[in-house]
Amino acid sequence: MVEKQGIGTVLMHAVLIIGIGIVCFPIYLTFVGSTLTHFEIIRPPMPLVPGPHFIDNYTEALTSGITAPVGRMLFNSFVMAMGIAVGKIAISILSAYAIVYFRFPFRMFAFWAIFMTLMLPVEVRIVPTYEVVASLGMLNSYTGLILPLIASATATFLFRQFFMTVPDELVEAARVDGAGPLRFFKDILLPLSVTNIAALFVILFIYGWNQFLWPLLITTRPEMNTIVMGLKQMMPTADDYGNWPVTMAAATLAVLPPVAVVIFMQRLFVKGLVETEK
């Protein structure tokens, strides 16, 4: 369009660049902090450019950490995130398939029962869930970390939505070809769902990785800490000296996998976000 350059493209870019600055500054500073010495940090102002201790701090963080080695915590986070993502997708796609493609007594009841789980994030039912998990002996275990978080229905909903858009003719054609329900699921529905599964995987991985409250409650042994919750415990408190650079290194490492996922799988990530929120 022919337009007088009122605001000017320059100003727009300026706003965006300042925006990016505001958005990226905290992590930049965190990274800088992870490359300095503890002493440099506790005597403000700390320098604003990275220092030379990158290797030292990160090695220390990964191998010994403060409460537990960060390497171990990263591993725990990874197991938990993968478990949640894979677990949730697996059980959800099966139930969505059952609800959409079959008619059976109590179908609507099952549908509403699952639907209701959307209404309560785990933060609202923490105390009783904790008691249930404790009574099942799942404290300090990967199972305990994973299972309660795959209960909610967001993924089921997404798959149900998607299955509704798959043309009926495909089922009819498959039946004519002699395929039963499991065959149909494996050979036709599943391949069609791949993009949705991938997008959902990205979102769920990030969701699982970033869990804080739940791991905080059910892990009492430091070696079961996940990185996101363990970070809090690494922070210096009133009665201990702490080690800021190592903590900051841990923070940087805590953020790296999900950020990498968002940046390198951006298209899938955006698709997943948009789909799960409808």
Partner 1 sequence: MATISIRDIRKSYGKTEVIHGVSLDVADGEFIVIVGPSGCGKSTLLRMVAGLERISGGTIDIGGRVVNDLEPRERDIAMVFQNYALYPHMSVFDNMAYGLKIAGKSKDEIRQRVDQAAAMLQLEPFLDRKPRALSGGQRQRVAMGRALVRNPSVFLFDEPLSNLDAKLRVQMRLEIKQMQRSVGTTALYVTHDQVEAMTLADRLVVMNAGIAEQIDTPMAVYERPATRFVAGFIGSPAMNILKGSVSGSDFALEGGGKLALGVEPVETGRPLLFGVRPEHLQVATAENAALSLSVTAVETLGADTLAHGTLSGANGAGGELIARLPGSAQIAPGDTLPLTIQDGMTHLFDAETGQRV
Partner 2 sequence: MEKRVTFDNRLLPYLLLTPQLAVTIVFFFWPAGQALYQSLLLPDPFGLGARFVWFSNFEYLFNDRYYLQSFFTTAIFTFFVTLVSMSVALLFAVMADQVIKGAGAYKTLLIWPYAVAPAVAGVMWLFMFQPSIGVIAFYMKAVGIDWNPVLDGGQAMTLVILAAAWKQISYNFLFFLAGLQAIPKSLIEAAAIDGAGKWHRFRTIVFPLLSPTTFFLLVVNIVYAFFETFGIIHTMTAGGPGQSTTILVYKVYSDGFVGQDLGSSAAQSVVLMVVVGILTVIQFRYIERRVHY
**Interface ranges with partner 1 (CB under 8 A):** 1-4
Contact with partner 2 (CB under 8 A) among 152, 154, 225, 243: 152
229 binds, among partner 2, partner 1, none (CB under 5 to 8 A by kind): partner 2
Nearest approach, Cβ of residue 7 and partner 2 (Å): 7
How many CB atoms sit inside 10 A of residue 66's CB? 21
Nearest approach, Cβ of residue 240 and partner 2 (Å): 14
d(CA 113, CA 88): 16
Instruction: Return the residues of window 199-218 that contact partner 2 according to CB under 8 A.
Output: 206, 209-213, 216-217
186 binds, among partner 1, partner 2, none (CB under 5 to 8 A by kind): none
State the DSSP string of 109-178. HHHHHHHHGGG--GGGGHHHHHHHHHHTT-TTSHHHHHGGGG-SSHHHHHHHHHHHHS-HHHHHHHHHTT
d(CA 253, CA 247): 10
d(CA 185, CA 90): 13
Q: Does 19 bind partner 2 (CB under 8 A)?
A: yes
Q: Does 261 bind partner 2 (CB under 8 A)?
A: yes
d(CA 47, CA 39): 12
Contact with partner 2 (CB under 8 A) among 64, 94, 186, 190: 94
Nearest approach, Cβ of residue 25 and partner 2 (Å): 8
Name which of 55 and 127 has its Cβ closer to partner 2. 127
Q: Does 42 bind partner 2 (CB under 8 A)?
A: yes
Residues near partner 2 (CB under 8 A), total: 106
**Tokens for 158?**
């997404």
Nearest approach, Cβ of residue 12 and partner 1 (Å): 18
Name which of 4 and 43 has its Cβ closer to partner 1. 4
Burial (CB count <10 Å: 0-12, 13-18, 19+), residue 86: middle
Instruction: Return the residues of window 163-192 that contact partner 2 according to CB under 8 A.
Output: 163-164, 168, 171-172, 180-182, 184
Q: Does 247 bind partner 2 (CB under 8 A)?
A: yes
What single letter denotes the amino acid at residue 72?
R
Per-residue x/- track, 61-90, partner 2 (CB under 8 A):
-----------------------------x
CB 275 within 8 A of CB 204: no
How many CB atoms sit inside 10 A of residue 117's CB? 13
The contacts found for 168-177 with CB under 8 angstroms, 24 or more apart, are 171/101
Per-residue x/- track, 96-125, partner 2 (CB under 8 A):
-xxxxxxxx--x--x--xx--xxxxx-xxx
Nearest approach, Cβ of residue 257 and partner 2 (Å): 8
Nearest approach, Cβ of residue 32 and partner 2 (Å): 9
Exposure of 13 in the CB half-sphere (CA atoms within 13 A): 3
Name which of 4 and 103 has its Cβ closer to partner 1. 4
